[in-house]
Amino acid sequence: MTSVAIYSHEDRFSAHRNKADEAYMVGKGLTPVAAYLAQDDIIKIALEHGVTMIHPGYGFLSENAEFAKKVEAAGLIFIGPQPQVIDGLGDKIKARQLAQKINVPVVPGTPGAIERFEEADAFVKEHGFPVIIKAAMGGGGRGMRVVREQESFESSFKNAVSEARAAFGDGTVFIERFLDHPRHIECQLLGDSQGNVVHLFERDCSVQRRHQKVVELGPATNFSDEMRNQLLASAVKIAKEVGYRNAGTCEFLVDSRGVYFIEINPRIQVEHTVTEEITGIDIIAAQIQIAAGASLPELGLTQDSISKRGYAIQCRITTEDPATGFQPDTGKIEVYRSAGGNGVRLDASSGFAGAQITPHYDSLLVKCTTRGATFEIARRKMLRALVEFRIRGVRTNIPFLFRVLSHPAFVEGRTWTTFIDDTPELFNLVTSQNRAQKLLSYLGDLAVNGSSIKGQQGEPGLKEEIPIPTFVDPKDETKTLDTSAPCQTGWRNIIVEKGPEAFAKAVREYPGVLIMDTTWRDAHQSLLATRLRTIDMANIARETSHALQNAYALECWGGATFDVAMRFLYEDPWERLRTLRKLVPNIPFQALVRGANAVGYTSYPDNAIYEFSKKAVENGLDIFRVFDSLNYIENMRLGIDAAKKAGGVVEAAICYTGDVANPKGHGKYTLEYYLDFAQQLVDCGIHVLAIKDMAGLLKPEAATILVGALRKRFPNMPIHVHSHDTAGISVSSMLACAAAGADVVDVAIDSMSGMTSQPSMGAVCSALEQTKLGTGISYANIQALNLYWSNVRHLYQCFEANVRSSDSGVFEHEMPGGQYTNLMFQSQQLGLSGQWKAVVKAYIEANQLCGDIVKVTPSSKVVGDFAQFIVANKLTKDEVIERAGELDFPSSVVEFFQGYLGQPVGGFPEPLRSKIIRDKKRIDGRPGADMPPYPFAEVRQQLTEKFGSSITSCDVASFAMYPKVFEEFKEFTLKYGDLSTLPTRYFLAKPPVGEEIAVPIDQGKTLLIKLVAVSPVNTVTGMREVLFELNGEARLVQIEDKSAAIDQVRRERATKEPGSVGSPMAGVVVEVLVKEGSDVKAGDPLATMSAMKMETNVSAPVSGKVKRIAVAAGDSLSQGDLVVEIVHA
């Protein structure tokens, strides 16, 4: 037998066209639906190509009696019931009347067709709500609406009529009383021309949405033999009454009181595969043989020969997205991998890689049917099959199907027709991570558009993997150190086992000087714009746990790293902390936190600071270096108390500026000032006292004076000193601190040290090695670490600030090390690169205008912004003072003078403060002290609604600090996935064509990726196709070329504004229901759209006035295209 297929123009790439022996296009020039309704054209094609039989399939003309007549009139065989039977049963009103005639129970309903809304309204007045509106012709849920209240009755009636007419060419409807919580059970029938009818048992189709079946199973579970026998007998009775021929399905609603006939579908149904699996009967083959004249007995199909064999379940896998109200998704299937194995059957539609899913037809991709000896076995096979599917490029309902099959009601056979609508927990979806395709999309974007990482200049300097050096055993340097597992011995053991107080006591009692390595935080913040990624720390982390096991701490968190990780590196800072903690369990981790601001730059409610600190300790942080950018004690108190309450070691920092060895030059910042401030900190109950020399101003003589005085005043308090090497003297200063009584000094690995970073670890440790102040760190292992980090520095050369030498000018301008490089970069971005000397001079003047303040983030940013403002506007210091009442200062400067950072030492300079802030709010105490508590539970719910159930308490803490940055980070990771395991050279630049790269994505899971080719740009769409090999298989991604000139004008997209209403799905505009200037209320329908034969209203999200209508009837839209713009009332 030869198969001949017909296809519309829109279906020219469909699977059925290619699988048939012959295929011919139908309905040329017609709409996608009209093409398959072109009866005469279909018959003409059949006659021209020697076709003898026509199978009408599932929909379109399958229940059209007129078409069946035309087929037979043309001398062809129609594979289906006789035309008069289709007319009698396909029309649900006539079928209902027939059932009543032979005493088969039916649900109360209208006696005939409803043509006008007034007739429908009359029925409701007699029988009440709820009711169901049904298309008299067709099936599949088209033209059906359940209505429960009068308000939506008329619009639902009109939509049902319109939808039925679009789907079946007939807008006739009828109305029935709607039963609450019934089951939908149907019986498969076969009849022949000799009057024989058999049933093939029943199927439970209760799991459905919008009356379209989603999951079908057979035989029905939890169904009494009495009701089963009644249902099967009724089905056969109706079929025999009309002399039914061929395949058909008799459908019933079932509740606890009885079985009610609904209709007979005089065609094969989508779910016939369930029956085939439990009976072993090929229903399609039987259809053809019956149409050819065979009787059921000749086919061996007598009732006593038909038996059930186990259970079967069918899932319809579609491109409907449950997370957006089952809106059909469209686009190109980029990846298609199907399930298989024992008891798994697949009936494919458009399920293949490269298939273009359009809005014109049903969204079904494939039917998956599983079979088992018991219902539970069949169910478990289906769950396995759903997990095996990999479909990328379009969203599918697979996560939803998994939830349905896992729900107790389904497991126990207790589902009903509105089960989906009544069970909201089904929508708590665990969606596929789609990690591989997202990663390819990122790499494809790199290949087409280059890196988008802000601050990157050029490509990474290293093109190969960085080798891990060999380390020596500190106790016997002739032996190689085994670093295959993390070291378990270190200073953190004391914190974990005995607490912060015992840790501080042990540090103070240590005879030598301890070091803290800043390589993982401040060093790269100062040298590489904070762009160091987690993977490059993790790669050397185990080795570091051994090489630096006697280190006081590793600084790896806080400061700018929290913000930059999300904003520019698209990494979760909490995951960084957890990852490194697993690899380094023995060395304490330290974070730099800004007093009352934690890791943010603004004021926060007190409970936000407490919650953030608690989460930090829970995720692996040990030591909080708490500072305030103005040395404002009230800000410090909150940060100190939050860290203590969280269980962390509290290291309170004095921010150092001026020169205690030359008090005449810096009148405010004398030795007495620092001693008094230190006393206030110690009185807060801190564990460690720190000196934070953020600009590198602490000269050796000043270090001896300051540390010596602090040691004398606080003999039992550990002292920790931090500095920068901007002027080139910090190694000398740290040695002076050690000699004066400091317990800990900050250093960085040699290749990440010097200039605006910290002093050299190798230099400091070597200088102290043969003294009583030795650090206990192996010099050989420092050099091994240095080999690794010198390569990392080369890798990240595209973020270097191009600072080539030390700058003793820091003693004059006092810029913090981290700001020095950042301000230079910002000046370049603002077009001031040729005026760096002027910016430095203006920085000094801006500091004086602010009152000679302590300068560290965020106060240093105020001075930097002020300086750039002065240079950009060509102002002098005197002109700023004179014109302060009329100039538009940067917001950071205004907020500083308002008091949003706190109170500077000695107060604000007047009258400059009053001139700058004018009538704005003035804060004279701790900013944030009066802020209401942060609503963590409410925010978590909002974030969950927006980003899904994966939102954690750490995510909420991130959002509390940086709401916009966090949202952008989540949106990026939703698009591209977790890129933290992608090697840095491929994160920053495209892989070379033909080079295979390995990317681990999970334990025991590594992707092998090869870039094969990039296509020329499509001048119509502006897209390029990027071809990869993923684990040896071809993968194609579509990437927009952001530099391409395109010929096609794209539709305007909806924005995030509340009144900007976008299309909820890809589809065609059926009707625009409002006019410009119309007043609308939230929820009012604005337009009607059609996609895959389903009509949906686009509703107003807010109340207001329609400002603009961006579409017209007949327009084809993509999801998110602007439909209407509303001015919010």
Annotation: binding site for Mn(2+): 522, 692, 722, 724
User: CA-CA distance, 143 to 139, in Å (whole number)?
Assistant: 8
Give me 1101's structure tokens: 């999200």
Which three-class secondary structure state does DSSP give residue 1106?
strand
Angle of helix 953-961 versus helix 963-976 axis, rounded to 10: 130
Element (H, E) at 986: helix 984-988
Give the whole-angstrom CA distance, residue 864 versus residue 896: 12
331 beta partners: 357
Question: Which are the contacts of 872, defined by CB distance < 8 A and separation ≥ 6?
Answer: 830, 832
DSSP 321: E
For residue 782, what are the contacts with CB-CB under 8 A and spacing of at least 6?
547, 749, 750, 761, 762, 765
SS3 (DSSP) at 709: helix
**Which residues are identified as catalytic?**
267
DSSP state string for 863-876:
HHHHHHHHHHTT--
Between CA 553 and CA 775 the distance in angstroms is 13
338, 309 Cβ separation under 8 angstroms: no
If we measure between CA atoms, which residue out of 250, 229, 213 comes closest to residue 81?
Answer: 250
As a residue count, the chain comes to 1129
Q: Note the helical H segments in 540-632.
A: 541-547, 561-567, 573-583, 606-618
Residue ranges for the binding site? 92, 176, 211, 522, 594, 692, 722, 724, 857
Of 204, 212, 190, which Cα lies nearest the Cα of 135? 212
Residue 455, helix vs strand vs coil: coil
Q: How many CA atoms lie within 13 A of 461 on its CB side?
A: 11
Spatial strand order in the sheet of 1005-1014: 996-1002, 1005-1014, 1023-1030, 1033-1040
Three-state SS at 268:
coil
CB 671 within 8 A of CB 709: yes
Residues annotated in the binding site for ATP, as ranges?
A: 92, 176, 211
User: CA 1100, CA 1023: separation in Å to the nearest integer?
Assistant: 33
C-alpha dist (Å) from residue 180 to 148, 253, 421, 1036, 1110:
11, 10, 12, 48, 41
Inter-CA distances, 288 with 217, 281, 374, 500, 1026, Å = 25, 13, 31, 83, 46
Residue with tokens 């965020």: 858
Give residue 45's Cα distance to chain centre. 49
Who's near 584: CB < 8 A, 6+ residues apart?
486, 541, 542, 544, 545, 554
Whether omega for the bond prior to residue 858 falls within 30 degrees of 0, making it cis, is yes
**Helices H / strands E in the chain, number of each:** 41, 43
374 DSSP 8-state letter: S
Residue 780, token pair as written in the block: 């050989």
* SS3 assignment, position 156: helix
Give the gyration radius of the chain's Cα atoms: 37
Q: Which residues are annotated as a binding site for substrate?
A: 594, 857
CB 595 within 8 A of CB 638: yes
From the number of C-beta atoms within 10 Å of its C-beta (0-12, 13-18, 19+), residue 515 rates as: buried
Distance from C-alpha of 867 to C-alpha of 618, rounded to nearest angstrom = 41
> In one letter, which amino acid is 706?
L
CB–CB of 1061/1122 below 8 Å?
Answer: yes
